[in-house]
Amino acid sequence: MFTKILIANRGEIACRVIKTARKMGIKTVAVYSEADKDARHVMLADEAVHIGPAPSRESYLLGEKIIAACKQTGAQAIHPGYGFLSENAAFAKLVEEQGIVFIGPKHYSMAAMGDKIESKKLAGAAGVNCIPGVNSAIESAEQAVEIAKGIGYPVMIKASAGGGGKGLRVAFNDKEAFEGFTSCRNEARNSFGDDRVFVEKYVEEPRHIEIQLIGDAHGNMVYLNERECSIQRRHQKVIEEAPSSFISDATRKAMGEQAVALARAVKYQSAGTVEFVVGKDQSFYFLEMNTRLQVEHPVTECITGLDLVELMIRVAAGEKLPLTQADVKREGWAMECRINAEDPFRNFLPSTGRLVRFQPPTETMFASDTSRWQGVRVDTGVQEGGEIPMYYDSMICKLIVHGKDRLDAIAKMREALNAFVIRGVSSSIPFQAALLAHPKFVAGDFNTGFIAEHYAKGFRAEDVPHDDADLLLALAAFVNRKYRNRATAISGQMEGHEVAVGSDFVVVTLGQQGLSTPTPVSVTDFNSKTGSSLVTVGARSYQICSDYRLGEVRVSGTCNGQPFTAQVERGSQAGKNPLAISVSHNGTRIDALVLSRRAAELHALMPYKAPPDMSRFVLSPMPGLLVDVAVQPGQKVLAGERVAVIEAMKMENVLFAATDGVVAKVLAAKGDSLMVDQAIVEFA
């Protein structure tokens, strides 16, 4: 067994590998860029080596620097994690040639599966179901149309070197096939330097289901059940679960056996994943093989009780797999939410900055610990006070739950999301809360088009209906009563004029354009010692009991005897009004003022102060780097013309003019770091 390994990655996955290595008594070496010098993975590792500036192309993607760090520290093996160089066959080969063990598949296996066209040919030869189509590169748009007609619409036009949704179009007719071929080819050339494109049948109502497998150097190979990854946005997974509620045991077995057959065909060693597209009739077809550890590997660990990172390390060290196919368990139901630094209410734009607060829910399961299940686990590479840099992907952490069945897992995940406090950057938590509450998701009635179908116009606050909206009003009144109780204890009050707290209040919820909705409530039976109050909202009563302390964000306790967790903030964090109380629960948020009846009458007479008109400015929709300004003062610009380009989290975002106009001033320069809503260009 190795005594020291280097982790050629950052963030959550680097921390994950360190935990297993520590359990196995293996010392770890972290590598870090300038942006990550204070990162969590650097602090957790036994040693750390600086490998370059912040951009990944100057640090984490430089294989020579990583190998040099390995030699410098005496590490015997490299774990690549996922992303960066994890599926780079040339890097894996270079590592092997330097006498270092690559904790992953052999370079030849990786190369065979890395090319979408060649991998499909190999899969077909191994007896794996492949989607009808043409697996050789297509030379012209006219040829693409003829092939599409032969296969039958709809078809999918894909770049051979594509990934992450780039270089992919679906065509339902000749015109879309012609235009899609040209777009795919250009996108592939610009993104991957490889313009080869192929065409295949598009499976309608498709599910994205993948098989996890692992093999050793002694010819042993097992599949570890499946993962359901159909909840995707723009081809990026949002929620993953294991097992899948859709496929039958017979389909599961057939998919697993075909995945193993393909892995054997390329002499695969280590953990890997074979991805399938599954039709509504449970017909399944090979998509691709990921020759690395997957982001969603924890859900497989939960239902099998295995530590996949440990198995990878043991296989790389030459050990035999400690289990056979008959030993593979499938117990309970696991789900994972990818918590990303993005604003779901602003079209999921990246959100970078400092994590002012980062308080995950209480963990009862832990990465690398296979002794505890049926609980909550958080895999993260950040901590409170840390920075979410603009140079890397947007994932803050992964929230994993394991329940006795699917409904139990959904309930646990909703409660865990309620308890997850993230401030300083926006997060995808409200969107995931909405998905988990959607009746079709709860019923298991979805496919890869679920988000595009149900959130076609983007995600809005009204897309998160609360099953008991009055509970949010009751919580605002409950917290306000605690604040009023503290006011009664202020010293130096004039005798006979002490603060007296009544029982009748009005909760005024604040809406857009100054609209507000008043709701009478009463708060009785307040007990400062037990933290109990009876709050009546209309005809409904809520007996709330909580040891919540003023100033905390998370409030938990019981409501009418049932446990609950919510988030409450008072003051400027509430956003709309410095005196408001902000309450969040199950993805729904309200901003409310809790007033006496007379104060509520006066509030209704207050004038509305409209926000300033910013329509003549082009504003930065997110924090990021201004990489281009395409206009200059005095230039006439038409609606839809390119104005500026902002880069954040490996994504380029182009800003266009909303109306015709003449540029008065350019307020930011190329290379500037921008804040949200910072003005870039002003029109006359």
Q: What type of residue sits at position 10?
A: R
Strands 47-52 and 27-33: parallel
Q: Taking the chain, what is the end-to-end CA distance rounded to the nearest angstrom? A: 69
Q: Identify the band that residue 576 occupies on the pLDDT scale cut at 50, 70 and 90.
A: low
Distance CA 501, CA 481 (A): 8
Question: Above 90 in pLDDT, residue 201?
Answer: no
Strand ranges for 9-154 from DSSP E:
27-33, 47-52, 77-79, 101-102, 133-134
CA 484 to the chain's CA centroid: 39
Decide the pairing of beta strands 588-595 and 673-674: unpaired
**Closest alpha carbon to 145 in 137, 135, 136, 157:** 157
40 dihedral zone (left: phi>0; alpha: psi -120 to 50; beta): alpha
| pLDDT score, position 649 | 77
Three-state SS at 411: helix
Rounded to an integer, what distance in angstroms lies between the CA atom of residue 642 and that of residue 650?
20
Report pLDDT for 229.
Answer: 97
Contact 104, 291 (CB under 8 A): yes
DSSP state of 283: -
According to DSSP, the β-strands at 77-79 and 4-7 are parallel
How high does pLDDT run on average in the chain? 93
Task: Annotate 113-156 with DSSP letters as a single string.
Answer: HHSHHHHHHHHHHTT--B-SEE-SPP--HHHHHHHHHHH-SSEE
φ, ψ at 54 (rounded to 5°): -60, -45
Helices (H) and strands (E) counted in the chain, each on its own, are 17, 39
The reported pLDDT for the residue numbered 543 is: 97
C-alpha span between 421 and 409 (Å, rounded): 20
Any idea which residues carry the catalytic annotation? Answer: 288
Looking at residue 491, its pLDDT comes to: 86
How many other β-carbons are positioned within 10 Å of the β-carbon of residue 327?
Answer: 11
Q: What is residue 200's predicted lDDT score, i.e. its pLDDT?
A: 86
What lies within 8 Å, CB to CB, of 430 at 6+ separation is 344, 345, 459, 461, 464, 584, 587, 589
What was the pLDDT predicted at 193?
80
Predicted confidence (pLDDT) at residue 39 exceeds the cutoff of 50 = yes
563: helix, coil or strand?
strand
Structure tokens at 431: 């969107």
Interaxial angle between packed helices 429-437 and 406-419, expressed in degrees from 0 to 180 and rounded to the nearest 10: 150
pLDDT above 70 coverage of the chain, percent: 98
| Tens digit of each residue's pLDDT (9 = 90 or more) over 359-411 | 999 999 999 998 899 999 999 999 999 989 888 888 999 999 999 999 999 99
Report which of residues 188 and 172 the model is more confident about.
172
- List the strands of the sheet with 77-79, edge to edge: 47-52, 27-33, 4-7, 77-79, 101-102
Q: Range with the lowest mean pLDDT among 77-81, 235-239, 314-318?
A: 235-239
* pLDDT digit string, tens, across residues 291-319: 999 999 999 999 999 999 999 999 999 99
Give the Å distances, CA to CA, from 48 to 34, 70, 132, 178. 12, 10, 49, 51
Residue 627: per-residue pLDDT: 92
User: How does strand 642-648 pair with strand 624-629?
Assistant: antiparallel
Q: Express each pLDDT in 122-157 by its tens digit.
A: 999 999 999 888 778 898 999 999 999 998 898 989
Strand residues in 474-553 grouped as ranges (E): 504-510, 516-527, 532-537, 540-546
Cβ-Cβ contacts under 8 Å for 57 (sequence gap 6 or more)? none
What is d(CA 489, CA 500) in angstroms, rounded to the nearest whole number? 10
Q: Is 96 helix (H, G, I), strand (E, B) or coil?
A: helix
Instruction: Indicate the residue type of 545.
Output: C
How far from chain centre, in Å, is Cα 5? 28
Cβ pair 652, 640 in contact under 8 A: no
- pLDDT at 15 > cutoff 60: yes
When pLDDT is averaged across residues 249-266 and rounded to a whole number, the result is: 97
For position 163, what pLDDT does the model report?
Answer: 63
Q: Would you place residue 194 in the very low, low, confident or very high pLDDT band (cuts 50, 70, 90)?
A: confident
pLDDT, position 623: 87
Within 10 angstroms of residue 47's Cβ, the number of other Cβ atoms is: 17
Determine the Cα–Cα distance for residues 536 and 522; give it in Å rounded to an integer: 5
The model's pTM? 0.87
Q: Which of 47, 40, 49 is nearest to 15 (CA)?
A: 40
pLDDT digits (tens, 9 = 90+) for 484-532: 998 888 888 888 888 888 899 999 998 877 778 999 999 999 998 888 9
DSSP helix, strand, coil percent of the chain (3-state; round to 5): 30, 35, 40
CA distance 101 to 676: 44
Entry field: residues in the chain: 684
Separation between Cα atoms, residue 32 and residue 36, nearest integer Å: 6
Which tens digit of pLDDT belongs to each residue from 627-667?
999 999 999 999 999 999 998 876 788 999 988 999 999 99
Structure token pair of residue 205: 């109502």
Kindly report the backbone phi and psi dihedral angles of residue 79, in degrees, each rounded to the nearest multiple of 5, phi listed first. Answer: -100, 120
Tell me the C-alpha distance between 96 and 91, whole Å.
9
Pick the closest to residue 432 from 423, 424, 441 (CA basis): 441
Q: How far is CA 62 from CA 50, 92, 176, 515, 522, in A?
A: 12, 13, 39, 55, 64
Domains of the chain in sequence order: 4-103 (3.40.50.20), 122-131+206-331 (3.30.470.20), 132-201 (3.30.1490.20), 332-450 (3.30.470.20), 469-487+501-603 (3.30.700.30), 617-683 (2.40.50.100)
- pLDDT band of 574, cuts 50, 70, 90: very low
Question: Encoding tokens for residue 375?
Answer: 């609980």
The confidence band for 162, taking pLDDT boundaries of 50, 70 and 90, is low
Using CB atoms within 10 Å of the CB of residue 548, give its burial: 0 to 12 exposed, 13 to 18 middle, 19+ buried: buried
The predicted pLDDT at position 531 comes to 82
3-state secondary structure of 596: coil
377, two tokens: 């686990």
Q: What mean pLDDT do residues 91-111 have?
A: 97
Q: Does the CA dihedral 628-630-634-638 come out positive or negative?
A: negative
Give the closest residue to 331 by CA, choosing from 303, 373, 370, 371: 303
Q: Which helix (H) or strand (E) holds 521?
A: strand 516-527
Q: Are 481 and 523 in contact (CB under 8 A)?
A: yes
According to the model, what pLDDT value does residue 165 have?
65
- 464-469: Cβ within 8 A, 24+ apart: 464/430, 464/433, 464/434, 464/437, 464/586, 464/587, 464/588, 465/437, 465/588, 466/585, 466/586, 466/588, 467/437, 467/586, 469/588
201, 156 in Cβ contact below 8 A? yes
pLDDT at 575 over 70: no
Percent of the chain scored above 90 by pLDDT? 75
> What one-letter code names the amino acid at 493?
Q
Which tens digit of pLDDT belongs to each residue from 268-284?
A: 999 999 999 999 889 99
Residues 553-573: tens digit of each pLDDT: 999 999 999 999 999 998 755
Each residue's pLDDT tens digit, 460-485: 877 777 889 999 999 999 999 999 99
